[in-house]
């Protein structure tokens, strides 16, 4: 009961910061509910050497056949470890989650130290720069309040909205365009560089999310979904977005291409001379 009350208060506290359209929340919530089983396809394998480097006693082999559950258990295991760790150990664990687990190896020691200090701050600074890295640290510091924001999650959110706009189920004026960090999935990258780019979405009538406000808006959206869907954690919502990412990106590109073709055919039919 105490955890539910704390979650409710956190939802209300975030709600005071800004407003997201009810239509967008409904679109995202409907998508998450419809694809909750997608976490079973969550595929984020970690190398054996990385597990050896972790050194916190996490029984990763216990979940070798269920990577989704492994991810959930890992985050809560590291949150517990973080709570009693000294600064040096937090830096080591933060480096591990960003580099060994996340595959991002471009951060300096000083950068990681800055992320660790922010993670332990009452109100962490959340600029767009470094968002794929520091959000991983926030997500192990407190999985009940923070979620990872990366290329796949961002692309999913943009694609889900674009699909419903294409289907006339969501007004462009109710939609938000999120900048998408660089990633490694080809379908996500193709979407990011074309239909899913903020400038492209803005031309369709989406409101641009200020880059340094993106993590706050993202957190608000996930918490709004969580507050409306009982039984799902932020981590599970994020995992649905992550696991599903290539599919809505491909579907959105296909839908916008088909709509563009239909529009051209309609215009040609109205103007035979053309």
Q: What is the pLDDT of residues 47-87, one digit of tens each?
A: 999 999 999 999 999 999 999 999 999 999 999 999 999 99
Q: With H, G, I as helix, E, B as strand and everything else as coil, classify residue 222.
A: helix
Q: Where do we find the tokens 């999985």?
A: 143
* Total number of domains constituting the chain: 2
Residue 258 — pLDDT band, cuts 50, 70, 90? Answer: confident
Predicted local distance difference test score (pLDDT) of residue 42: 81
Q: Has residue 273 been placed in a domain?
A: no
Q: What is the pLDDT of residues 134-154, one digit of tens each?
A: 999 999 999 999 999 999 999
pLDDT at 76: 98
- pLDDT of res. 107: 96
Residue 41 pLDDT grade (very low, low, confident, very high; cuts 50, 70, 90): confident
Tokens, residue 12: 């209300």
pLDDT at 266: 41
Predicted confidence at residue 15, as pLDDT, reads 43
Is 130 in the same domain as 160?
no
Pick 14 or 131 by higher pLDDT: 131
Q: Report pLDDT for 273.
A: 54
Tens of pLDDT, residue by residue over 110-142, are 999 999 999 999 999 999 999 999 999 999 999
> Cα dihedral sign for 222, 162, 239, 148?
negative
**Residues 159 and 136 occupy one common structural domain:** no
Could you say which of 141, 170, 191 is where a domain stops?
141
- What is the pLDDT, as a whole number, of residue 262? 41
In a domain, 269, yes or no: no
pLDDT of residue 18: 52
Question: Is residue 185 predicted with pLDDT exceeding 90?
Answer: yes
pLDDT band, very low/low/confident/very high, at 231 (cuts 50, 70, 90)? confident
| Within a domain: 274 | no
Determine the structural domain holding residue 210 and report its residue range.
2-34+150-264
Burial group, residue 128, by CB count within 10 angstroms (0-12, 13-18, 19+): middle
The predicted pLDDT at position 264 comes to: 44
Quote the pLDDT of residue 129: 97
Distance CA 192, CA 200 (A): 10
Give the domain-ending residue among 121, 141, 161.
Answer: 141
Which of these three, 95, 115, 141, is where a domain ends? 141
What's the chain's average pLDDT? 89
User: What pLDDT does 123 receive?
Assistant: 93
The pTM (predicted TM-score) of the whole model is 0.88
Is the pLDDT confidence value at 217 over 80?
yes
- Token code pair at residue 11: 């939802």
φ/ψ of residue 67, rounded to 5:
-65, -30
> Average pLDDT in the 242-265 region?
81
């Amino acid at each position: 009961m105490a955890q539910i009350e704390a979650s409710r208060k956190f939802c209300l506290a975030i709600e005071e910061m800004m407003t997201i359209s009810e239509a967008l929340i409904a679109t995202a919530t409907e998508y998450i509910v419809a694809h909750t089983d997608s976490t079973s396809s969550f595929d984020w394998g970690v190398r054996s050497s990385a597990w050896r480097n972790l050194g916190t006693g996490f029984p990763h082999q216990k979940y070798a056949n269920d990577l989704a559950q492994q991810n959930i258990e890992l985050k809560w295991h590291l949150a517990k470890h973080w709570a009693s760790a000294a600064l040096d150990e937090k830096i080591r664990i933060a480096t591990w989650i960003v580099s060994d687990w996340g595959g991002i190896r471009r951060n300096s020691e000083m950068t990681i130290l800055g992320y660790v200090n922010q993670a332990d701050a009452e109100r962490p600074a959340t600029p767009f720069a470094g968002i794929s890295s520091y959000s991983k640290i926030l997500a192990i510091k407190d999985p009940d309040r923070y979620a990872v924001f990366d290329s796949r999650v961002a692309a999913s959110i943009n694609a889900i909205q674009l699909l419903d706009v294409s289907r006339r189920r969501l007004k462009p004026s109710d939609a938000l365009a999120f900048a998408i960090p660089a990633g490694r999935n080809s379908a996500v990258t193709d979407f990011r560089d074309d239909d899913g780019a903020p400038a492209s979405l803005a031309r369709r009538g989406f409101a641009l999310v200020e880059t340094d406000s993106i993590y706050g808006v993202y957190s608000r959206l996930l918490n709004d979904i969580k507050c409306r869907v009982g039984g799902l954690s932020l981590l599970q919502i994020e995992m649905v977005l992550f696991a599903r990412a290539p599919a809505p990106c491909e579907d959105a590109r296909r839908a916008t291409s088909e709509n563009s073709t239909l529009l051209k055919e309609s215009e040609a039919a109205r103007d035979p001379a053309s």
